[in-house]
Chains A and B, each alone.
Chain A
Amino acid sequence: MADSALPPVVVVERLSKSYGARRAVSDVSFDMRHGEVMGLLGPNGSGKSTILRILTGYLRPTSGRAQICGFDVVAQSLQARQCVGYVPEDVPLYAQMRVHEFLTFMGQLRGLDRTSCVRAVDEVIERLSIGPHRSQLIGKLSRGYRQRVAIAQALLGRPKLLILDEPTNGLDPRQIIEVRELIRVLANDMAILVTSHILVEIERVAHRVAILLEGRLLGVRALADATIGLEELFLSLTEGEPE
């Protein structure tokens, strides 16, 4: 669970992002602490991925600010990115690379020296149970193993924040259960921000949920304290909102 004695890992203040006249994210604020799993829940196009891309430094906010481990994601982008492990939604990987080559490459990008990189790669390979596939071409892996490789690269360098964009998309039921279990275990060591447009996915893994609609944050609730289920909570918050 979240450690309130430590400073927040993520601080987002009045974050907005516009593409021309269209507002993808509007005035969103929240924070996260170590050990916390926070779910961003909302329908497709509600701004979940845009928020994640701003936090990872891939997009610049139009206004507002975000900090990760005390580093501003725009002004101190490199330091902020050093604290983040990120798995984008469609799991983009280099299909022509072998699993261990890819992980070594990503470890080097994270600034790990040769010895630490070898150790870190072996560690994530074991943690994600991808040992038998370490010499296989990524392009030949199944969707489930590609997802594991993507999560493995995000764990290199022991980030303080793990960001997972729709991590169970396209997985079979067994793989979905494994990813949920993995999130629970990883939450002992870091803060995890996970998005989904599926209620049950968030309900199963998150301590808190932030509900988004058309770029606006409708509310943030602790799931353990909620007197009503997530489904009722979502309906009550989105009642009267345009679809």
Chain B
Amino acid sequence: MKGLSALIDKELRTLFQAPIAWIVIGVFLGLTGYSFTLTLFNNRYATLAHIFFQVAGLLLLIVPIITMRLLAEERRAGTLELLLTAPVRESHVVLAKYLAGMAVVLIMIGLTAAYAVVLGLYGTPEWGPIYSGYLGLALLASTLVSLGLAVSAFTANQVIAAIVTIGISFFLWMVDTLAAMLPDPLERVFISLSLLARFTPFATGAMYTSDAGFFISTTLLALFIAMRALARR
């Protein structure tokens, strides 16, 4: 476990020492803050549902920027050889990178709780949908971070890792739109794979264990793929 905590510590330092994490967090907060203020002044509804969808959309673009370097950079710089020849498990290397990526995204999402505080101070929001919305965002982030990590494990090029992750994330987000054109068993499969269809209940205050299970299973599957990619040498 000493190795795992050292790896997590190193990953967090690397992420936060580089300007990219701070720039991403700044841009993210700027955009969501602008949208929150504008919507609140126009509608005067004490809800964060629109913010949750907007944050989810931004995550599809921002998470790949955070995850692109996680393994691709180690491969490019040759330090992956140093890591994998040290007496640490491949699973610990992958887990440390996943947890570090999640830490950045959760900090980002957590900072938007300021909007909920504003709603609480000046209005009477329903807190149930706000809690479920944040849980949904955390689960969606988990799937996206692990997906980005898995893609990053296959290449030494960060740009390729980011573009491929954005492509897969957007496809999974809107894959239910394809479902209408398909016969019944396939239609249900495609709807069940849709990140949007899985996230919507959380954002609107309904929570289903099947949706939470979907996000957790896709996270585990992607982490497993990342580990297999590292072992394939």
Q: Which residues of B contact A (CB under 8 A)?
A: 2-3, 5-7, 9-10, 14, 17-18, 77-79, 81-89, 233
From A84, A108, A111, give the contact of B85 (CB < 8 A): A84
| Nearest-CB residue, chain B, relative to A55 | B85
Complex contact A108–B87 (CB within 8 A): no
Complex contact B2–A111 (CB within 8 A): yes
From B2, B78, B86, give the contact of A90 (CB < 8 A): B78
Give the docked Cα–Cα distance between A210 and B9 (Å): 41
Whether a CB of chain B sits under 8 angstroms from the CB of A109 is yes
Complex contact B14–A96 (CB within 8 A): yes
A134 to B: closest C-beta gap in Å: 17
A58 and B85 in contact (CB under 8 A), knowing A88-B78, A90-B78, A96-B14?
yes
Q: Mark A87-115, 1 if CB is under 8 A from B, else 0.
A: 01010111111000000011011111100
B92 to A: closest C-beta gap in Å: 9
Q: Can you list 24 A-B contacts with CB-CB less than 8 angstroms, sorted by A residue number?
A: A57-B84, A58-B84, A59-B233, A60-B233, A81-B86, A84-B85, A86-B82, A88-B85, A92-B79, A92-B82, A93-B79, A94-B14, A95-B77, A97-B10, A105-B6, A105-B10, A109-B3, A109-B83, A109-B86, A109-B88, A111-B2, A111-B87, A112-B2, A153-B82
Whether a CB of chain B sits under 8 angstroms from the CB of A56 is yes
| Nearest-CB residue, chain B, relative to A78 | B87
Give the docked Cα–Cα distance between A96 and B5 (Å): 19
Complex contact A93–B82 (CB within 8 A): yes
B215 to A: closest C-beta gap in Å: 31
B17 to A: closest C-beta gap in Å: 6
Complex contact A58–B87 (CB within 8 A): no
B79 cross-chain contacts in A, Cβ below 8 A: 92-94
Q: Mark A133-171, 1 if CB is under 8 A from B, else 0.
A: 000000000000000000001000000000000000000
B85 cross-chain contacts in A, Cβ below 8 A: 53, 56-58, 81, 84, 86, 88
Q: Mark A59-70, 1 if CB is under 8 A from B, else 0.
A: 110000000000
Whether a CB of chain B sits under 8 angstroms from the CB of A46 is no
Complex contact B2–A82 (CB within 8 A): no
Complex contact A110–B17 (CB within 8 A): no
Give the docked Cα–Cα distance between A109 and B105 (Å): 26
A60 cross-chain contacts in B, Cβ below 8 A: 233
| Nearest-CB residue, chain A, relative to B7 | A109
B229 to A: closest C-beta gap in Å: 14
| Nearest-CB residue, chain B, relative to A153 | B82
**Max chain B Cβ within 10 angstroms of own Cβ: one of A56, A59, A86, A109:** A109
Complex contact A92–B86 (CB within 8 A): no
Give the docked Cα–Cα distance between A106 and B233 (Å): 22
Give the docked Cα–Cα distance between A95 and B89 (Å): 23
